[in-house]
Amino acid sequence: MTAYIGKRLLAAIPVILGLSIIVFLVMKLIPGDPAQALLGSYATPDNVERINRALGLDRSWPEQYVIWIGNLLQGDFGRSYILNRPVIDEVLDRFSATLILAGASLLICSVLGILAGIVSAVRQFGWTDRIVTFFVLIGISMPAFFLGLVLILLFAVQWRLLPASGMYAVYGGGDLPDLLRHLILPAGTLAIVATGVVARLTRAAMLEVLRQDFIRTARAKGLSENAVIYRHAFRAALVSIIPVIGIQTGFVLGGAVYIETVFQWPGLGQMLVKAVSTRDLLLVQGGVLVAATLYVLVNLLADVAQAMLDPRLKA
Amino acid sequence: MTDMTLSAPEPRKRRSNWQLLMANRLAAAGLFLFGFIVILAVLAPVLPLPNPDITDQPNRLLPPFADGHLLGTDHLGRDILSRLIWGTQVSLIVGVSATALAAIFGSLIGLVAGYARGATDSVLMRFVDMLMAFPYILLAIAIVAALGPGLLNALYAIAIVNIPFFARNIRGVTVSIRNREFVDAARLSGKSHPAILFTEVLPNVLPVIVITMSTTVGWMILETAGLSFLGLGAQPPTSDLGSMLGQARAQLFTAPHASIIPGIMIFVLVMCINLLGDGIRDVLDPRLRSGALDRPMPITKIDRKTKPAATLEDAPALVVDNLSTGFDDGKAITPAVRDISFRLGKGECLGLIGESGSGKSVTALSLMGLVASPPGVITAGGVYVGGREVLSLREQELIGLRGGRVAYVFQDPLTTLHPLFRVGEQIAEAILVHESVGKSEAHRRAVELMETVGIRDARSRASAYPHELSGGQRQRIGIAMALANDPDIIIADEPTTALDVTVQARILELLQNLRRERGLALLLITHDFGVVAQVCDRVAVMKNGEIVEQGETGAVLRDPQHDYTKRLIACVPELGEGQAFLDRVRPLFVEART
């Protein structure tokens, strides 16, 4: 197992390097000359050349990339000129809020999605299946940013049950119950699409497994239907459900951009949107890279979990 | 896989794709709603609508149904209905364009990578993998950050992040098509690679492109609206549904309708596209259409016109009486086996023989209600175990008999053992279902059973997974599992077919010995008269779902009554017979061919 984890970790390194190359290239797409933009009306050819040399922009792209990645590895993501602080500090400050939000959503979508998927498969074409299918359809068609607004109107404005925005109450907040109260609406909204997708795929995976020969063997042994479904079939289906949950991490991290904006959640997504509108490119770069790296690592974790569940994959 | 559905017509009344799509009520509803929205959006310039950009400060934030403004006005006094229809037009154009761009570039990458293979394939697909390693929206946001906010840039960003889906799907199909005969033929006829790619490969890949488009276009409309909502897409004065919602958000508490109306529009638009997309996928993907993914019930459906007697006096271990099983395709029940009757006593072995598709396995599985249902239905007859009719029992009682009094051994132990459980655990589980013993006791007995069936070093092999054992060992595990509760009857469904000949002989010997020692009644299903001659006391010959001949093995072998039996017997070749075998067998099959 250790060898397998080591192998997967090594395989993740080129992926993360590839991510950094793509981010680097995207930033090179920026139309216009950065020195020109920085200097504005002081952009004499002399000044432009001096700035270019100071920023290393006179070197070739591969050289620039190597310097850039070397700095990243030392934790130097550059400096946000709008916030006037190091990018890495701002990103890490925001990161924990996003982790809480994304983690809670992932938990909700895994538990609810898998349960709904199983029930839907077991009661195929029955009423429960139809109701689940209906909600799944609504879930995957619902714009999360709109659903968030509707939920704020209902739960915060109409019924006054839950806070509409932020992570903690301004006065007297700051403890865990306060955090949870603030977390329910954004995490629930963020989970809705992912729940639909997980439920759909769980249903399909269960139906696929229930047709297999070894399920017939389990029945021929005299196992009760519950043991057949929850022990034999679900255990086998889980192997294909785990990577789906890994992929949902990406949707949840991406969806956090909307949800954090709608609910004023002080996370990475909200930071990114602000940074894009102020064109604080280094901040965008840092935020996207950190989130993408997290995504790669979560998928690595999903791979390892999958191998632990299925002894055939370790070979 | 999809090209088959388009090129190979089915013999029977095949409905066109369009009819199939319309038969799916949800997809049809989605199509009509989508069509209605598209028509409204297209007709926006000629509809009697106020100018969507004319502000009217005194009449700002009017509620719906106000005079002259059916859906009210927004924070600048603009007519919401008019803005909604114009915004829908923008959202549709942007979403569809993004889909088209992603489809064109993604398919091109997929076609080239799949057709060229080699280094081109590796480089292209690694690049696609890199794009996929990003959380989707974040990459789009990085692209918009670089290009600057704006509707066109948002469109590019969404198109780029969707390229990988197309590239991957289309590459997969292209790889499977590039080596087909018609592509080889085109190559030999001297066509250039681009010509082959676009005239031979592309038409066959098209259904997959259509499926991928129909399942992603809703998503792309949603995402471009999302970017506009964040202020990164459409910039004033242009507005799409997302930017309408984004601007109205500031008045959420005072005038919720200004936010809710465009939000519902996005939702409805995306939902009907999703319904339509699912419908199109179902039509073009034959696997989903055939109902191959129906969930089998715990017990075969039993639908008999008359119930047989509940008990039978002086019955041997197993009596099957006029059993019939069929398959229900939704309209009619096609019979698979008809009027099957046989008896099997304690310590006796009955061979059930016939060619593939003759109904042997359906017969075997029907006895304990194990035929997958749907589509299986037991339509008539009875099965008596120890004189009691088991198909009339309550579900729980029948399940209790399985693996207890009546146990099964199946054909291919690689697929019939659970791949993720240790073999010892699987045997112990069979014991635990029927007896209340401790886990360690069940495990001890499982190891004992493994020794009984001749597995060396059973204690350590018990913790192996099925894929770690050889075929013969796996089948011994299958037999050990069947023996777990000391059954009266073992039904062995082609237990040696998946094994090589020497292993086959040992497994048969094992079954023979167990039968003698334990007085088991053995129902052995096979297509090989050699096996029957070696093991069975009596034999029943099946053809086209019926038993055509039944008797003592020796008598049937000596003097077969039915032509089919003669042919089956003749099919057992003798060592050193050579060409003479064909000469001997050929005449027997002449009438069979006509």
Query: CA of A299: which chain B residue's CA is closest?
Result: B133
Q: What is the DSSP letter of B424?
A: H
Give the minimum alpha-carbon distance from A279 to chain B in angstroms, rounded to a whole number. 6
Q: B63 vs B8, B182, B257, B516, CA distance in Å?
A: 57, 64, 7, 89
Residue B507 has pLDDT above 70, yes or no: yes
Residue B358 has pLDDT above 60, yes or no: yes
Give the minimum alpha-carbon distance from B284 to chain A in angstroms, rounded to a whole number. 17
Per-residue pLDDT tens for B162-212?
999 999 999 999 998 888 888 889 989 988 999 999 888 999 899 889 989
Q: A255 vs A97, A124, A181, A186, A188, CA distance in Å?
A: 14, 31, 20, 11, 12
Closest CA to A53 of A27, A30, A34, A72: A34
Give the minimum alpha-carbon distance from B402 to chain A in angstroms, rounded to a whole number. 4
In the block, tokens 């635990």 appear at: B432
Q: In this predicted model, which residue has the larger pLDDT, B422 or B315?
A: B422
Calculate the average pLDDT of chain B.
87
Identity of the residue in A121, A207, A217 whose CB atom sits nearest the CB atom of B416:
A217
In a domain, B58, yes or no: no
pLDDT at B1: 37
pLDDT at A33: 67
Give the minimum alpha-carbon distance from B563 to chain A in angstroms, rounded to a whole number. 34
Chain A contact set for B135 (CB, 8 A): 249-251, 253-254, 291-292, 295
Chain B contact set for A225 (CB, 8 A): 298, 399
Q: B283 vs B16, B287, B394, B479, CA distance in Å?
A: 9, 9, 39, 43
d(CA A139, CA B267): 10
Cβ contact A253–B138 (<8 Å): yes
pLDDT at A32: 65
Task: Name which of B147, B266, B418, B422 to mutate to probe chain A: the one with the most chain A Cβ atoms within 10 A of its Cβ.
Answer: B418
Contact B428/A at CB under 8 A: no
B 131-170 → A contacts, CB under 8 A? 131, 133-139, 141-149
State whether B113 and B210 are in the same domain. Answer: yes
Checking DSSP bridges between strand B301-302 and strand B318-328, what pairing results, if any? unpaired
Closest CA to A259 of A206, A209, A307, A187: A187
Domain encompassing residue B328: 301-405+487-593
Cβ contact B142–A204 (<8 Å): no
In a domain, B177, yes or no: yes
Per-residue pLDDT tens for B93-143?
999 999 999 999 999 999 999 998 889 998 998 888 888 888 888 889 888
Residue B2 has pLDDT above 50, yes or no: no
Give the minimum alpha-carbon distance from A128 to chain B in angstroms, rounded to a whole number. 14
A 104-163 → B contacts, CB under 8 A? 121-122, 124, 137-138, 140-146, 149-150, 152-153, 157
Contact A166/B at CB under 8 A: no
Cβ contact B296–A210 (<8 Å): yes
In a domain, B425, yes or no: no
Residue B7 has pLDDT above 70, yes or no: no
State whether B275 and B337 are in the same domain. Answer: no
Give the minimum alpha-carbon distance from B182 to chain A in angstroms, rounded to a whole number. 33
The enclosing domain of B371 has a CATH number of 3.40.50.300
Identity of the residue in B417, B420, B429 whose CB atom sits nearest the CB atom of A309:
B420
Average pLDDT over residues B268-293: 78
Cβ contact A31–B421 (<8 Å): no
d(CA B472, CA B450): 13
Per-residue pLDDT tens for B298-309?
889 999 988 888
Residue B248 has pLDDT above 50, yes or no: yes
Contact B282/A at CB under 8 A: no
Give the minimum alpha-carbon distance from A210 to chain B in angstroms, rounded to a whole number. 6
pLDDT at A11: 82
State whether B24 and B102 are in the same domain. Answer: yes
Residue B290 has pLDDT above 70, yes or no: no
State whether B280 and B399 are in the same domain. Answer: no
Per-residue pLDDT tens for B137-157?
888 988 888 888 899 999 999
State whether B255 and B131 are in the same domain. Answer: yes
pLDDT at A7: 86
Task: Name which of A123, A150, A152, A219 to mutate to probe chain B: the one with the most chain B Cβ atoms within 10 A of its Cβ.
Answer: A219
Which amino acid does the sequence have at B556?
Answer: V
Chain B contact set for A124 (CB, 8 A): 294-295
Identity of the residue in B137, B267, B430 whose CB atom sits nearest the CB atom of A221:
B430
pLDDT at A38: 67
Chain A contact set for B419 (CB, 8 A): 214, 236, 310, 312
Closest CA to B337 of B542, B57, B110: B542
pLDDT at A50: 82
Q: B14: pLDDT confidence band, cut at 50, 70 and 90?
A: low
Query: CA of B268: which chain A residue's CA is closest?
Result: A141
Number of domains in chain B: 2
In a domain, B502, yes or no: yes
Q: Which residues contact A260 (CB under 8 A, 6 or more apart)?
A: A97, A98, A101, A186, A266, A267, A268, A269, A270, A273
In a domain, B89, yes or no: yes
State whether B145 and B213 are in the same domain. Answer: yes
Residue B578 has pLDDT above 80, yes or no: no
pLDDT at B115: 92
Weakest mean pLDDT among A3-17, A212-226, B31-45, B574-588: B574-588
Closest CA to B380 of B323, B461, B335, B336: B323
pLDDT above 70 coverage of chain B, percent: 95
Cβ contact A291–B138 (<8 Å): yes
Closest CA to B319 of B296, B347, B340, B290: B340
State whether B316 and B236 are in the same domain. Answer: no
Contact A207/B at CB under 8 A: yes
Give the minimum alpha-carbon distance from B590 to chain A in angstroms, rounded to a whole number. 37
pLDDT at A112: 95
Last residue of a domain, one of B254, B289, B324: B289
In a domain, B422, yes or no: no
In a domain, B167, yes or no: yes
Last residue of a domain, one of B255, B289, B323: B289
State whether B92 and B191 are in the same domain. Answer: yes
pLDDT at B586: 76
Q: B6: pLDDT confidence band, cut at 50, 70 and 90?
A: very low
State whether B224 and B125 are in the same domain. Answer: yes
A 252-271 → B contacts, CB under 8 A? 253-255, 257-258, 261-262
Tokens representing B518 are 């334990």
Residues in chain A: 315
Averaged over successive runs of 10 residues, the pLDDT of chain A (315 residues) comes to 84 87 82 68 80 77 88 86 87 93 95 93 85 88 92 91 85 81 94 90 91 92 92 94 90 92 93 86 89 90 89 76
Last residue of a domain, one of B260, B289, B318: B289
Q: In this predicted model, which residue has the larger pLDDT, B214 or B97?
A: B97
State whether B285 and B317 are in the same domain. Answer: no
Chain B contact set for A141 (CB, 8 A): 218, 222, 267, 270-271, 274
Residue B528 has pLDDT above 90, yes or no: no
Residue B22 has pLDDT above 50, yes or no: yes
Contact A99/B at CB under 8 A: no
Chain B contact set for A228 (CB, 8 A): 298
Give the minimum alpha-carbon distance from B171 to chain A in angstroms, rounded to a whole number. 21
The enclosing domain of B275 has a CATH number of 1.10.3720.10
Identity of the residue in B135, B218, B429 whose CB atom sits nearest the CB atom of A221:
B429
Weakest mean pLDDT among A77-86, B438-447, B514-523: A77-86
Chain A contact set for B368 (CB, 8 A): 220
Average pLDDT over residues B315-330: 90
Task: Name which of A13, A134, A145 to mutate to probe chain B: the one with the most chain B Cβ atoms within 10 A of its Cβ.
Answer: A145
Q: B590: pLDDT confidence band, cut at 50, 70 and 90?
A: low
State whether B281 and B349 are in the same domain. Answer: no
Give the DSSP H/E element, type plus range, for residue B181.
helix B181-188
**pLDDT winner (highest mean) among A6-15, B11-20, B51-60, B271-280:** B271-280
Cβ contact A227–B402 (<8 Å): no
Task: Name which of A141, A207, A263, A280 to mutate to probe chain B: the one with the most chain B Cβ atoms within 10 A of its Cβ.
Answer: A141
pLDDT at B293: 65
In a domain, B255, yes or no: yes
Chain A contact set for B293 (CB, 8 A): 204, 207-208, 211
Q: What is the maximum alpha-carbon separation in chain A?
A: 86
Cβ contact B145–A279 (<8 Å): yes
Question: Do A309 and A297 touch, CB atoms closer than 8 A?
Answer: no
Contact B123/A at CB under 8 A: no
d(CA B239, CA B463): 65
Tokens representing B425 are 């655990």
Cβ contact A26–B410 (<8 Å): no
First to last CA, chain B: 34
Q: B81: pLDDT confidence band, cut at 50, 70 and 90?
A: very high
pLDDT at B100: 96
State whether B310 and B257 are in the same domain. Answer: no
Average pLDDT over residues B418-441: 94
